[in-house]
Amino acid sequence: MKRILLMVCRNIFLVPFMWVKLCYYASHVDKYSEEKRFEMLKFITTRANKGGNVTIEVHGKENIPEKDGFMFFPNHQGLYDVLAIIQACPRPFSVVAKKEVANIQFLKQVFACMKAYMIDRDDVRQAMQVIIDVADEVKNGRNYLIFAEGTRSRSGNEVQTFKGGSFKAATKARCPIVPVALIDSFVPFDSSTTKPVTVQVHFLKPLCYDEYKDMKTTEIAGQVKDAIQQTIQEQDSKFSCLL
């Protein structure tokens, strides 16, 4: 909360204008192209990060597929995760998020601008329909992000178990799966500090359909989790060597 207030205070003259613009875009999503909406979100997050002492360090942009119609699968550290990837990613994408965050102000408007899907994990029929709809959109060239852990980690950079069911949309769409390793993404919104922080976003080598078509979704989940965990451990080792 302290960092959010810092972001607002340091952009005090810009905030009212951008809030109105964000709400208008969220209420008129079909009036603007996905690229235009994403450009607006990227501007907001970039200014907020600058005001809030947050630096986004991006690695592996070359691993993002050149052709649209892929899915990101990052580890989930906190409410800030999507905003970090918005600034880091040069290509528009949407999100599948749990319904519990659907009414959090600002995130609500951001997700509306992204035409995100809110999934009810207690409603199997609704969840399956979301999977089908997302798979169809990915086939048609939209990019999506899903948090396969299902809920954010409460242990910093420790990665939780990735759920196999989270990969069903990707297998139905037969699309590239891009693991994304987030490091220290929990710090901006899920800690009380306002000290400068660097959030690392690592886009890892994608899994193409031919590589995972014969695998079970649980096996895909395990492979993606292991790639992310290995990247985090490697970065942690580098940091330890500098101390």
DSSP string, 66-102: SSS--EEEE----TTHHHHHHHH-SS--EEEEEGGGT
Token reading at 199: 């959030």
* pTM passes above 0.75: yes
Distance (Å, whole) CA 52 – CA 21: 21
- Identify any residues that bridge with 136 across adjacent strands, giving them in sequence order: none
Query: pLDDT (tens digit, 0 to 9) for every residue of the chain, 243 residues total?
Result: 789 999 999 999 999 999 999 999 999 999 999 999 999 999 999 999 999 999 999 999 999 999 999 999 999 998 899 999 999 999 999 999 888 877 888 889 999 999 999 998 888 899 999 999 999 999 999 999 999 998 877 777 889 999 999 999 999 999 999 999 999 999 998 888 899 999 999 999 999 999 999 999 999 999 999 999 999 999 877 765 555
**3-class secondary structure for 207-236?**
ECHHHHCCCCHHHHHHHHHHHHHHHHHHHH
Q: State how far the alpha carbon of 45 is from the alpha carbons of 213, 218, 225, in Å.
A: 36, 34, 27
CA triple 19-23-26, angle to 5 deg: 140
CB 53 within 8 A of CB 6: yes
